[in-house]
Structure 1
């Protein structure tokens, strides 16, 4: 996927201009270094044009950018698949997460899902509201299998279901990395009450939630039914935050067949404020873990 959303293109272009300035290179000199016309550099830096993975690599080499984490983040920002660019190394600095692992599933995963995973892999923090199912990063294998099987409605063969479950489980590496992602979750009570895969699968899943909720980098809160109608009833969302580049947060609204990215500052402020409001109305961390334990016991 080489055509990132317009706002993300502008953010990428702004960062590339900053890197060019830091290298002491003019736009004309940059164009000569990589064999382009100056207008192409200008279109990329202003966000009027996207950038191919090979072209991104050329620019970063020309600017002397060696940090593999930054290179990978910029590639994710461009909408490129990790297999399509040279990040300099296969590991992010201190991340403990192998970059681009999802490309082993290229024939299985649609571009939008690969793009989502690439952003998730580079994010330092995710804030997510879930109203229907447990977030993918916290699902057990059995729970993930049942959700995948049910949502795909028999449209893929069983072996493909298993591969999709492998992907779901592999995504959870971001929570076990040397520098794990910070995960803030608000769960509607319906997520805990909706039985997925039968009683034993749900008990195992609720135990997993309780275990993960005790991790220092996972902050889990439950929004009980008694809170009434809330701002999150319109649907789940995720807000990703990234290192190194200021003002880069992105909201993802995940649908059955596609993902919608919201990257304008006004939209980000609205969703960030909404998430803060939901957290204020939700149970505390300690109360939430107790609530989950009670639900797991059939309460």
Structure 2
């Protein structure tokens, strides 16, 4: 019976990235680690790239070599090592030991070649102005959050937008509900500036913003906002949804449902030019 090929799962990618980060923090080369553990250097590299599944025993050996003894974090990584084959959704898989919060959303943004997003309520974070982002963050923050903390969150959100201007910029395609471009987040002036910013972004070849008009009563996004991260070959796409109940990451085959939904949403929405014209017209109404 032929050997079933290993799928480069999100769990394997995250585990490999964490192990590589620990190795580099210690200033250790793959050659040095392979000599210490008496492992093949190319195999260690494949573990870090998620080309091969890594055994739990090897993870223990690597963490010991790196002097990484934080109990809770070790438990998280070892739980990952046991499940690197899994491609089902990430939610509360690990109970009190691990939750999906240790997969970083910005990490996926940084790895992706393209992000597709449908948003029912807000302009996506990668496209927000500072004033719009601050209004959104203040609304979501706990009442006791300090000004310095809010400012830090705003800076972090804005720093993520660097993926749009790097040497190989991220491609972002979004469909947003018409109510989003009419909702006066932060007041009319903030919304007007946000719409002007979106119109400016539309001129970039890697950005495509489409509006789902209110005249389309039924469409594939009525269940809510979602993101799709298209990772470079050979890694599969990852779908992401967020709610008050938590964050979910879904890989193939469950991600296929979101791919099909986004394709249908894009076809139902206004074209890029029509969307740009609508946003410009609304901005003029706010002047």
TM-score (norm 2): 0.68
- Partner Cα separation in structure 1 for residue 60 and residue 139 of structure 2: 36
**What secondary structure does 2:175 align onto?**
strand
Residue by residue over 1:111-169, the C-alpha shift from the partner in whole angstroms, topping out at 9 and shown as x without a partner, is: 83771111111111000011100000000000000000001142411110110000010
| Unmatched 5+ stretches in structure 1 | 1-5, 15-28, 36-40, 59-77, 80-109
- Partner Cα separation in structure 1 for residue 15 and residue 146 of structure 2: 42
Contact 2:37 2:61 in 1 (8 A): no
- The question of 1:164 aligning with 2:158 is answered no
- The question of 1:146 aligning with 2:135 is answered yes
Correspondence for 1:134: 123
Q: Compute the displacement of 1:182 (Å).
A: 0.6
Which segment drifts farther, 125-134 or 44-53? 44-53
- The question of 1:225 aligning with 2:214 is answered yes
Correspondence for 1:121: 110
Q: Compute the displacement of 1:255 (Å).
A: 2.9
Distance 1:13 1:170, change over 3 A: closer
Q: Trace 1:1-299 onto structure 2 (pairs within 5 A).
A: 7-9=9-11, 32-33=38-39, 45-46=52-53, 55=62, 112=101, 115-243=104-232, 245-256=233-244, 258-265=246-253, 267-298=254-285
- Partner Cα separation in structure 1 for residue 246 and residue 36 of structure 2: 36
Distance 1:129 1:47, change over 3 A: farther
Q: Compute the displacement of 1:297 (Å).
A: 1.8
Contact 2:101 2:247 in 1 (8 A): yes
| Unmatched 5+ stretches in structure 2 | 1-7, 17-34, 42-46, 66-79, 82-98
Distance 1:49 1:184, change over 3 A: farther
Distance 1:167 1:150, change over 3 A: same
Q: Compute the displacement of 1:53 (Å).
A: 11
**What secondary structure does 2:227 align onto?**
strand
Larger RCO (alpha carbons 8 Å, 6+ apart) = 2
Contact 2:237 2:252 in 1 (8 A): no
**What secondary structure does 1:190 align onto?**
coil
- Partner Cα separation in structure 1 for residue 14 and residue 154 of structure 2: 32
Q: Compute the displacement of 1:257 (Å).
A: 7.3
Query: How much is the aligned-residue C-alpha RMSD, in angstroms?
Result: 3.7
- Partner Cα separation in structure 2 for residue 114 and residue 46 of structure 1: 18
Contact 1:123 1:242 in 2 (8 A): yes
Contact 1:12 1:47 in 2 (8 A): no
- Partner Cα separation in structure 2 for residue 118 and residue 255 of structure 1: 19
Distance 1:54 1:47, change over 3 A: closer
Which segment drifts farther, 45-54 or 137-146? 45-54
TM-score (norm 1): 0.65
Q: Count matched residues.
A: 224
Contact 1:183 1:219 in 2 (8 A): yes
Contact 2:100 2:248 in 1 (8 A): no
- Partner Cα separation in structure 1 for residue 125 and residue 57 of structure 2: 30
- Partner Cα separation in structure 2 for residue 153 and residue 114 of structure 1: 23
**What secondary structure does 1:291 align onto?**
helix
Higher helix proportion: 1
